């Protein structure tokens, strides 16, 4: 890669950042597309607002933002995309006049993953397991995109009720919060696993052990990608039903950010090549 005085700079803000795969994904895309951009990481421990302001003064084109700054960064922005503002979490900053505009490309990644899998949001009922940050963003985009129906189950019910109330007050859509992952009479839903249960090395764990939950679902989506096939996904494989892991979502959130920073469209061949390289890099 030829870095010069004209090279566009982007990077990841978070703490910690050193284990991130974002530099690999973005720098691979730049190389393949011949775009003069370099992507690094910035560990920001304390003063997030100073970091964002400093980034702007230094001419940095954009940032991704990760834990623990996805919520607080909103206070440091010139503008916020509507849906990202409603969710209350931003993972991508794009340079605009007077500061950065914040987006949530995690949800764009999720929607593109569903699209790739041929899952039409409007035509399906979704059953979300978990009620953390990822579940909130996913429930929002599903409600916003007019999913047929949305159910949510979480170990701590109050957190699911909080998401329910929030979505209802912003979008007027009432998601169903349930006490158990098995709901009598409910069938043919897309089951979405958003908890950290099953993440390597605890690969045999599942957030739901009631087999009836899997029997009633039509397919499963797990946001975990390590292991490549989680115990949750194996439940679907056992029944000959499709399931999808979170690797495409990870890649597509990066693709969406890359497109915003560069005003370009990353073609599907480059996406596929980057996906294969990422999978290899992760040893999956």
- Catalog residues that contact ligand ATR under the rule CB under 6 A: 130-135, 154-156, 159, 194-197, 207
Q: Which is nearer to ligand ATR, 187 or 209 (CB)?
A: 209
**How does DSSP classify residue 179?**
S
Q: With respect to ligand ATR, which residue has the nearer C-beta, 149 or 162? A: 162
User: Would strands 189-193 and 125-129 be described as parallel, antiparallel, or unpaired?
Assistant: parallel
Torsion 32-36-40-45 (CA) sign: negative
Q: How far is the CB of 36 from ligand ATR (least distance, A)?
A: 34
- What are the start-end ranges of the E strands in 58-203? 62-65, 79-80, 92-96, 99-103, 125-129, 149-153, 176-177, 189-193
- Smallest gap from residue 228 Cβ to ligand ATR (A): 19
CB of 95 to ligand ATR, least distance (A): 26
In the complex with ligand ATR, the residue whose CB is nearer, 155 or 281, is 155
70 is catalytic: yes
Which residues have a Cβ under 8 Å from the Cβ of 259 and sit 6 or more positions away? Answer: 265, 266
CA 284 – CA 276 distance, rounded (Å): 10
For 81-185, strand residue ranges (E) read: 92-96, 99-103, 125-129, 149-153, 176-177
Our CB check for ligand ATR shows the closer of 55 and 181 to be 181
DSSP state of 48: H
Decide whether 19 or 280 has the Cβ nearer to ligand ATR: 19
Position of minimal CB gap to ligand ATR: 132
Residues 194-224 as b or e (16 or more Cβ within 10 Å = b): bbebbbeeeeeebbbeeeebbebbebbbbbb
Q: Which residues contact 39 (CB under 8 A, 6 or more apart)?
A: 9, 10, 11, 12, 22, 23, 26, 27, 30
CA distance 21 to 50: 25
Q: Shortest Cβ distance from residue 109 to ligand ATR (Å)?
A: 14
70, 79, 174, 202: the catalytic one is 70
Min. distance of Cβ 130 from ligand ATR in angstroms? 4
Six token digits for residue 83? 């849906």
- As measured in angstroms, the least distance from the Cβ of 131 to ligand ATR is 5
What is each CA distance from 39 to 10, 12, 126, 136, 267, in whole angstroms?
Answer: 5, 8, 35, 28, 19
- Return the number of the residue (77 or 152) whose C-beta is nearest ligand ATR: 152
Q: Catalogue the active-site residues.
A: 70
């Amino acid at each position: 890669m030829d870095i010069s005085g004209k090279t566009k700079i982007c990077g990841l803000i978070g703490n910690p950042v050193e284990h991130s795969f974002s530099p690999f994904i973005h720098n691979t895309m730049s190389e393949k597309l011949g775009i003069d951009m370099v992507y690094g990481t910035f560990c920001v421990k304390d003063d997030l607002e100073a970091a964002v302001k400093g980034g702007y003064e230094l001419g940095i084109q954009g940032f991704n933002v990760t834990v623990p700054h996805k919520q607080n960064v909103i206070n440091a922005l010139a503008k916020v995309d509507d849906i990202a503002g409603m969710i209350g979490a931003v993972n991508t900053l794009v340079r605009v006049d007077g500061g950065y505009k914040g987006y949530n490309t995690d949800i764009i990644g999720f929607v593109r993953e569903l699209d790739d899998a041929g899952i039409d949001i409007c035509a399906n009922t979704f059953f979300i397991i978990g009620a953390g940050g990822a579940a909130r963003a996913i429930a929002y985009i599903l409600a916003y995109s007019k999913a047929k129906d949305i159910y949510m189950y979480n170990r701590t019910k109050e957190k699911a009720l909080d998401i329910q109330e929030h979505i209802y007050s912003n979008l007027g859509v009432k998601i169903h919060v349930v006490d158990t992952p098995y709901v009598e009479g409910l069938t043919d839903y897309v089951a979405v696993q958003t908890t950290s249960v099953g993440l390597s090395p605890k690969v045999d764990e599942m957030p739901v052990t009631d087999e009836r939950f899997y029997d009633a679902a039509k397919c499963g989506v797990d946001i975990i990608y390590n292991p490549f096939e989680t115990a949750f996904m194996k439940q679907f494989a056992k029944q000959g039903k499709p399931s999808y892991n979170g690797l495409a979502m990870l890649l597509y959130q990066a693709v969406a950010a890359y497109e915003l920073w560069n005003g370009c469209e990353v073609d599907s061949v480059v996406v596929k090549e980057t996906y294969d390289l990422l999978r290899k890099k992760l040893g999956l």
